[in-house]
A and B are shown apart, each in its own frame.
Chain A
Amino acid sequence: MEKKEKSNLRVLTHNTYDMHAIWDDQRPFVKETDIGESLGWELKPEGLCKDDSCIPYTPLNDPDSGYVDFLDITNTLGFSNVLDVELGLAAVDTFSLLRSSALKDRKAPNIELPDVDGQLHSLSEWSDKKKLLVAFSSW
C-alpha cells in the first residue's frame, strides 16, 4: 500500500484528486483554488458557491494564507467524509444533495457516464425520450 506524503491530500469522490496540503493537528489545509475541482463548490468572497447558489462561509484560519480547512469546508457543505490521516486520504460524499433531491422530487439528475469507448454521454441527450437505466455488476 502506497503511503502518501504528508504534504499531499488525495480526495476520493466519484473521481480522484491529488492536491497539495498542509497538515495541522491532523487536519488538512488545502489551497482554496483546489476546492472547486474536487468538491464542485468554489470559495468566493460571498461564500462557497456553485452556479447561482452560495452558502455563507468564513474561513477559520487566516484568509490571506490561501489555504482553507478541508474538513470545515466539507462539513459546511453538508458532505460526509472519512479521513485517513496516515494514508493522506479523504473520501467525501459529494452526491448527498443531488441524491436527496432526486429521491424527494423524483427528478433524474443530468448524470454523465462513459460509453464502452470511453466517450461521455449526458442523460440530457435523451431528454425527450423514455429511458430505462440498467445498473449491473459482473462481481
Chain B
Amino acid sequence: MDENDTIVRPNAGEFGSDTFSELTGISCIDHMNQVKAWVKEGEVPEDASHTVEDFNLDEIKARLHFRIAADTRSEYHFQKAEELAPLDFTIVRASMPLRGGNPFGEEFFDLYERYQNAGSPYHGIPRRTARLGKND
C-alpha cells in the first residue's frame, strides 16, 4: 500500500526467506528485489495490476462453517467447510491440526497434489507452482 493507502500490488504468495526453498523450489530473492525497487524507486512489477476476484457464495459459506468449527471443533462444520472449498489452504490445511491431523503430513501432500492438478486456484496474484510432491 502506498502513502495514500492505495493497494499498489494485491496479495500474492511470497517467501520472506529461503528457509523452505528446498521444499518449495522458490527463492525469496525476486520478491525481495521487487519490494526494494518499489520502496526506493517506486517501481511496480507488471503483475501489480492483477484484479483479485471476491469470494463466491460457496467460499464465503465455507469460511463461516470453518469459523464455527474452529470455535466448537464440530466435525460436521469442518466437513461442510471442506466440501464447499476443497482446495482452500486457509480452510483445509488450517483444519488439519484442529482435527488432530498433521499439516506437514500425508494429508497435506494429498491436498497439494489436488491443488496443483486443479491449476493452483488462489484469490491473489497467480504464480508458478512449485514442484512439490510426496516423494520430494
Contact = CB atoms under 8 A, between A and B. Distances in A.
Contact of B61 (A82, A132, A137): A82
B47 to A, nearest CB: 14
Contacts of A102: 7
A92 interface: yes
Given A12-B68, A130-B1, A137-B94, 19 more contacts: A81-B64, A82-B64, A82-B68, A82-B77, A87-B68, A87-B72, A91-B68, A92-B64, A99-B54, A99-B55, A102-B7, A103-B53, A108-B7, A130-B3, A131-B1, A132-B35, A136-B16, A139-B93, A139-B94
B54 A80 contact: no
Interface of B: 1-3, 5-7, 10-11, 16, 35, 38-39, 51-55, 57, 60-61, 63-65, 67-68, 71-74, 77, 93-94, 96-97, 103-104
Contact of B64 (A1, A93, A133, A137): A93
Pick the 9 closest A-B CB pairs, nearest first: A91-B64, A82-B64, A139-B103, A91-B67, A106-B7, A131-B1, A108-B5, A108-B1, A80-B60
A80 B63 CA distance: 10
Contact of B71 (A89, A106, A128): A89
Contact of B5 (A16, A103, A107): A107
Contacts of A123: 1, 5
Interface residues of A, number: 36
B7 A107 contact: yes
Contacts of A130: 1-3, 38-39
Interface string A22-64: 0000000000000000000000000000000000000000000
